[in-house]
Amino acid sequence: MLELRNISKYFNKNTPSQTIALDDLNLQIKPKEFITVIGGNGAGKSTIMNIISGSTEPDKGMVLLNDYDITFMSEHKRAPYFGRVFQDPMSGTASDMSILENMTIAYGRGKLHSVFRWFMNKKDKEYFVELLKTLDLGLENRLMEKVGLLSGGQRQALTLLMATMRQRPSERIIKRDFVRFSETDKSKAKEEVEKAFLEAKKKRKEALKELKTSGLTKEEFKSKRDLINNEYKDKIYKFDLTKQILLLDEHTAALDPKTAQKVLDLTEKIVNENELTTVMVTHNMKDAIRYGNRLIMLSHGKIVVDVSGEEKKKLTVEQLLNMFQVASKDDTMSDSAILGD
């Protein structure tokens, strides 16, 4: 569970232009909740996303992930657990790198000094191709093409995929964070991880020992050793971390309506298939009602509406609009945003 507890965020504090972006805000996000967030310009939507992802620190309050205080954990360290897609299709991928290179980096495999390795790991490549096929955009046939050549919608779909794909963090990170963020019994999880590691390590040691006495040439030895090391890595495969929480900040706003629809449907599919916890900011009230299982409305850094389940499903744009007008008298929202098309 992700929890924002009494979060306040000011900008330009103690100056005449001081603004309060979030005002003593409380939000508990349960696993597998798909929350749509609406609110006028400047209501604090993006600031919430920044606080969750760690790109902004709150002035007051705490951020908890599975009861663990991550308020001041760096964005970089949180990255394995959060996927994020922004409004700008240019921001989530590197234009001058190929689809394969972008995905490799997202997978946590990218090492600048070993570019050639990227192309050699067949298993990773197969995994990427499988993922790309699910988009149904033909991108699996364009692995070597630079991402800069893709359309905005294709690029946003790829970013979405990269933001939600499984992670392969280092052994150290798995050990540290799997235990820390495990939702199961912590001591049991730790025990399990330790056991699997020790077993895999023991087996690797034995295999390497055997190899040393097998009289192979230097080259043969090296390639066999790599194989063994790879096999050992796969033993800890089951501790691969799936992105747990997906943060979408108006990620379809820059796309034409048809493409936006396609990317939204893809979003829903990816969220359902991976059972992701999702927070999606949108200015489109229709989408806010249609997607997800909980809806919150923000105004002046506070949650003014919070509906879920059946109540949310029954909402109409008119009702939502009324709520918006009552809750945020002096906020602004464009007609197209309200009406949705």
Ligand X SMILES: Nc1ncnc2c1ncn2[C@@H]1O[C@H](COP(=O)(O)OP(=O)(O)OP(=O)(O)O)[C@@H](O)[C@H]1O
Environment class of residue 189 by beta-carbon count within 10 Å: exposed (0-12), middle (13-18) or buried (19+)? middle
Report how far residue 250's alpha carbon sits from residue 37's, in angstroms, rounded to the nearest whole number. 10
If contact means CB under 5 to 8 A according to the sort of partner, which of ligand X, Mg ion, none does residue 110 touch? none
Q: Which residue, 44 or 58, has its beta carbon nearer to ligand X?
A: 44
Question: Is residue 50 close enough to count as binding Mg ion by CB under 5 A?
Answer: no
Question: Is residue 159 close enough to count as binding Mg ion by CB under 5 A?
Answer: no
Among 9, 36, 46, 81, binds Mg ion (CB under 5 A): 46
What is the closest distance, in whole angstroms, from the C-beta atom of residue 6 to Mg ion in the complex?
A: 22
Question: Is residue 21 close enough to count as binding ligand X by CB under 6 A?
Answer: yes
Structure-token pair, residue 77:
């360290």
> Which string of x and - marks every residue 45-84 that binds ligand X (by CB under 6 A)?
xxx-------------------------------------
What is the closest distance, in whole angstroms, from the C-beta atom of residue 309 to ligand X in the complex?
A: 25
- What 8-state DSSP symbol labels residue 114? G
Report how far residue 137's alpha carbon sits from residue 111's, in angstroms, rounded to the nearest whole number. 28
Question: Is residue 277 close enough to count as binding Mg ion by CB under 5 A?
Answer: no
Q: Partners of 296 in the beta sheet?
A: 37, 306
Phi and psi at 278, nearest 5°, equal -135, 140
What is the closest distance, in whole angstroms, from the C-beta atom of residue 58 to ligand X in the complex?
A: 12
Question: Is residue 104 close enough to count as binding Mg ion by CB under 5 A?
Answer: no
Residues within window 71-100 making contact with Mg ion, judged by CB under 5 A: none
Helix (H), strand (E) at residue 295: strand 294-299
Give the full edge-to-edge strand order of the sheet including 34-39: 82-85, 245-249, 277-281, 34-39, 294-299, 302-308
Binding-site ranges for ligand X (CB under 6 A): 11-12, 19, 21, 39, 41-47
